Chain A
Amino acid sequence: MDTTASRGLATKDIVYIALFAALTAALGLMPPIHFAGAALPPISAQSLGVMLAGAVLGSKRGGLALLLFIGLVAVGLPLLSGGRGGFGVLMGTSGGFLLVWPLCAYIIGYLMEKDTAANAIKTGLYVAFGGIVVMYAAGIPWMAFIGKLGLTKSLTIMVAYIPGDLVKVVLATIIARGLRRAYPNL
């Protein structure tokens, strides 16, 4: 994985980058998961793609996969869950959460590369750091700025999404570890 940085992208790297961008899009087609009844908002499986790209492909390729995905959304392809796309969504209230995806994947990949022997718990923590902490650290100030809300109120709104994101962290960790076992040389 560390060799990709030094020798540029091989055919296989380009294919994997495109694949995980497409995977993130395809995950947007899965019906949102409802849990805890109506008490919590339904969660879309889409940000699972972010976590998987980072945890499976590593920093550079994972980050580029999501950069490609966001680029395709920006040019007007309806790839976000619910068939949304275009500049409007990226500039809207949740724009910060979306635009930071490449960085989230990069950071998850970076942490995994620094600790290749990470067990399930540690992997989960890395995924949670990139997929929740970093994402919220960008998304909440953006929302506060766009809606002139102030950080506390924006944070309060987003608290309802945290349980769903934790579920995704667990799923991403299980799937990423499974894929790594199935394809050790990815």
Chain B
Amino acid sequence: MAKKVIKPVVSAAEAAKYVRPGMSIMIGGFNYGGIPYTLVEALVEAGTGDLTLISNDTAYEDVGHGKLVAKGQVKKVIASHVGLNKKTGQFFMEGKLELVLYPQGTFVECIRAAGFGLGGVLTPTGVGTVVEEGKQVIKINGQDYLLDLPLRADVAFIRAYKADRMGNLTYFGTNRNFNPIMATAADYVVAEVDSVVPIGELDPNEVVTPGILIDALVVKGDNYYANRT
């Protein structure tokens, strides 16, 4: 189904309703940077559970989507690094949480493969390590590569800088990270932005994510970290 040409600007609470129990959700960000804090906070408040969280890391237990894990809303984490959030490790060790770890470059490339219509990724990263377990090894020109499969989600919550009403997005600093890639790989994509400007105001040369990928926009709220990122 085609997405709307003029994107609805909704509240974070409304956007959080798109996420239903049992869904998979991609959340942008790396460490403190580029997390859609206002959207995540609304999802924490909604209390939606049984989620599969696909995110580079699980932040900190009291920061961003780290709270989703800490509150027990997540049944499975797919990430590259979870060491900063003690609850992720604790719940995993207690058998309350399923955890799948990818090398970071493979993680982003699997998301990109899903969004870009590719059947998989061949990467030299992880050959000869535990990452190889259960994966097909393919030799090309004498070098071994691991076959990794595409990774997509029901919903993506991403963070950008400016949006126009058609959903075109620009980014700021190291907040960019996984956000533009996740925008390509989910059925429903919500972007949290600093501001929404009229159509025609963004320089088309500076748009990173084309609006055709976006379903809805949320303006960042008065949130401690949203104000600082």
Instruction: Determine if chain A interacts with chain B.
Output: no
